[in-house]
Chain A
């Protein structure tokens, strides 16, 4: 049942030009950034030769690449997630799901998995780009895996936030603005963490980059994984509660 909903969601995404154009633009920009990193790496390579335990390809190309993917995708996710539920609420197709023998939780989970499928394509594209370096050098595959795990978790958390925002309004535009706001807030709140004060540890914990950077540096800590899981679970449950409330008080 969940997979039926996810499959239709993914199908509709790829039947619209939106998904294809987003993927194309994203791939173009990533390729450009990738080439720029390559260029600077080849420029400083002679100097690196002389250093002991010099940073390698993984440090200088793969990690910045994954960081860039995260930021660009965070800018794209609201565009993909905004129509997930708000468009169905507006066009009335949501009543098809409401009158089917499917619980709200499964509806939300189905929609979420559909969006994750799309983000999986983005993740796959950036993985292939990173792995292409294997053709001419060596990579720290363990660190790459940790980075990809971090990237996947960031995208999954952002998707949950976008899904929740799209339940808030039948206007997709409002949903997109809401997701941008919350995602940027979670991304930038650690600017405050640098300041002195008792709240700064809390701000640092709330901020996504704190956890993402640790994973990018190859450090997989269960507390960071729990942070992302909490974020995903919280927003999915909020989405279910919100849909239930819509039925009671429209």
Chain B
């Protein structure tokens, strides 16, 4: 399969400061790639380079097989980009703005109305079409920004911190929209929020000081093989009784009623089987959360400056 984005040995200098160094990655259709990193890790610079807003100091980028530097116009046809600050004209209405964006991507005639209506529907903008963008709330403006990035149905969607400034319900809607987009095309997004990556991404790249510090692929449904579960019980039993359960190697008591269950590597059981056992044991199960300790520890270690072996 041909990668939608192929970045090779990207470097970007601002004066003496090196914002991105030696970064290479690929994005395939049906993937959501999350760029994770603390502030100033080079996420936005990387995305701006892929979107053609910033020329790399060295390295090559191909969008859907087209070289971005050699043939920018053709490469950008398949590109939808939401920058950190949504590029909105406050004096236009949502409809006018989206029509303008679609025209910039060479959509005209009846396809134009369809594309605008479709993008508005996907982003939940159906009833604000005639309002001025400047009068919309931050959350709606962010949605207009996302609608702008998908109005021309691009194969590559680049979203720079798409959920920043949104309320929890809007965040959930946007995350499900991103997963939806990722099922048919390639999405790359940046964030500094770990749960966001876990909720939306199929693959993860952690950047630190412009370098790739960690790359991993994330499974959405399966419990992680080396993973743990955090549980809370109303009537906790003896600590030893957890180890007696099939598939559990041992348990830690975190606080009264709170435990971390470590799964047995050799005899791993699914989240469903484990929760069933816990309920059948009659301990009053109140919370059951899969934990991906690897990811969180890695992120914290990277961002606090420790080296990964």
Contacts and interface: CB of A to CB of B under 8 A. Distances in A.
B289 interface: no
Given A1-B104, A93-B89, A98 B53 contact: yes
A164 B208 CA distance: 38
Nearest to B101: A96
Contacts of B52: 98-99
A101 B54 contact: no
Which residue, A8, A11, A103, has most C-beta atoms of chain B within 10 A?
A: A8
A99 B149 CA distance: 10
Nearest to B57: A248
Interface string B95-113: 0100011011110000000
A142 to B, nearest CB: 41
B81 A95 contact: yes
Interface string A14-30: 01100000000000000
Nearest to A96: B87
B248 interface: no
A93 B91 CA distance: 13
Given A101-B74, A101-B77, A95 B88 contact: no
A97 B106 CA distance: 13
B79 interface: yes
Interface in B44-99: 48, 51-55, 72-74, 76-77, 79-81, 83-89, 91-92, 96
Contacts of A95: 48, 51, 53, 81, 83, 87
Contact of B106 (A5, A96, A99, A101): A101
Given A4-B103, A103-B73, A247-B55, A92 B87 contact: yes
Interface residues of B, number: 32
Which residue, B79, B87, B106, has most C-beta atoms of chain A within 10 A?
A: B87
A: interface residue count bin? 20 to 34
Given A98-B53, A99-B52, A250 B101 contact: no
B54 A99 contact: no
A124 interface: no
Interface string A231-248: 000000000000000011
Contact of A97 (B73, B77, B86, B104): B104
Contacts of B100: 4, 8
A91 B53 CA distance: 14
Contacts of B72: 101, 103
Given A1-B104, A4-B100, A99 B76 contact: yes
Interface in A1-50: 1, 4-5, 8, 11-12, 15-16
A156 to B, nearest CB: 25
B147 to A, nearest CB: 12
B148 interface: yes
A230 interface: no
A100 B89 contact: no
* Interface SS of A by simple majority: helix
Contacts of A12: 89, 91-92
Contacts of B73: 101-103
Nearest to A92: B85
A99 B91 contact: no
B148 A96 contact: yes
Contacts of A8: 89, 92, 100
B53 A247 contact: yes
A248 B51 contact: no
A101 B107 CA distance: 11
A100 B54 contact: no
A5 B104 CA distance: 8
A16 B76 contact: no
A248 B48 CA distance: 12
B91 A16 contact: yes
Contacts of B92: 8, 11-12, 15
Nearest to A106: B73
Given A15-B92, A96-B148, 13 more contacts: A4-B104, A5-B104, A12-B92, A91-B87, A92-B84, A92-B85, A93-B87, A95-B83, A96-B104, A99-B52, A99-B53, A100-B101, A247-B55
29 contacts: A4-B103, A8-B92, A11-B96, A12-B91, A15-B91, A91-B85, A92-B86, A92-B87, A93-B87, A95-B48, A95-B81, A96-B87, A98-B52, A99-B51, A99-B53, A99-B76, A100-B76, A100-B101, A100-B104, A101-B74, A101-B79, A101-B105, A101-B106, A102-B104, A247-B53, A247-B55, A248-B55, A250-B14, A250-B54
Interface of B: 14, 48, 51-55, 72-74, 76-77, 79-81, 83-89, 91-92, 96, 100-101, 103-106, 148
Interface of A: 1, 4-5, 8, 11-12, 15-16, 91-103, 247-248, 250
